[in-house]
Amino acid sequence: MNMKELLDVFSYCGMRCEVLTVGDGWQVIVSEHGGHIFGPFSDSYPEGIFWIPDTVRDRDRYKELIDKKIWNIGGDRVWIAPEIQFNIEDRSRFRETLNTPKTIDPGSYRMTRDEKRIFLSMELDLESHNTVTGTVHADLHRMIYRAENPLRRLPSCAELMDGLSYCGIEEVIDLSVSGDRGIFAESWDLLQIRPKGTLFIPMYEPLRGTDHYEPAGDHETVAENGICLRITGDSRYKIAYRSAVLTGRFGYMADSDTDSSVLIIICYPNDPSAMYSEEPPLIEGDTGYSIHVYNDDGKSGGFAEMECNMLTIGEPTGIDHASDRLTKWIFTGRKDRLQAVAKILLGWQQSM
């Protein structure tokens, strides 16, 4: 489905949307419902690059997801972490009690815009479990706009961009909280991507991740300067990586049977001094992970997720407000040129 057809489906479902230009010939759709970002769309990628469930092809089935406030509607979204505190009621039964609060997604966003930016804002109350019990009140504000090409100041930019197209999405996420003592909170960005492909996490010192669900197993391999993960959408795992060794960037190269492919890079404010309060369900007190990667087993649609966490706030940290900025750089085109870009922006030197 192309962007116009998706907008027709969203309208049928009662979703208010705005279209934002994020590159020459590139646009995204931002929905007030859930604050999801869909796309990016171009003439070369009319169905968009981010994952969206096949149910969107049946407008009545997709409307059912919207009416029931199901979170899994595709695109890029922002939640509030930690999951162990807000989404899981009993860590000893984490699979059975995992349930995303409707106050987080779809939430109650209010959307406005000007010529170049889209603004999303909402207030919500969240109940905390496991780590500490109680409630917290949060104010979440997001500003979404076009991100400039990170290569543009390089003398070799024209050569690097030969045979490539670029678009970028930048987002400022402002989170404030107040509530019971001991409750942490942090903005949490989750980008749903289409399998299959390889995800690369550059590291100053390669360090294997910590499994949250089923083990990643041989999906994870250690490279000279980071970790490679095979993204398949047919074997469930969730794995997390410690902020101390991370660079604040990670990327995904889609498999392709042609000479062209897609490279998605996320740049986020990794700070090892921050707590990063998410914990593996069965390892209490183990924190400090700023990247999580989820690979679906196909039962939820066969997607994967590039996830990054922002600055931890809440009374135990001494601060109750954070403003974070993250960027998504998307390049499409010739594989050899994508490989050259990945080497510069990620240090990804091995064959892809």
Q: Which domains does the chain have, with CATH numbers?
A: 3-346 (2.70.98.10)
Q: Count other Cβ atoms within 10 Å, centred on residue 75.
A: 21
pLDDT of residue 352: 47
* CB-neighbour burial class of residue 315 (10 A; exposed 0-12, middle 13-18, buried 19+): middle
pLDDT of residue 350: 62
Report the distance separating Cα 200 and Cα 293, nearest Å: 11
Structure tokens at 342: 């990945």
Report the distance separating Cα 270 and Cα 208, nearest Å: 18
| pLDDT profile of the chain (352 residues), mean per 10 | 97 98 98 98 97 98 98 98 95 92 98 97 96 93 98 97 97 94 94 98 98 95 96 97 98 96 98 95 95 97 98 92 98 96 92 52
pLDDT of residue 213: 87
pLDDT of residue 182: 87
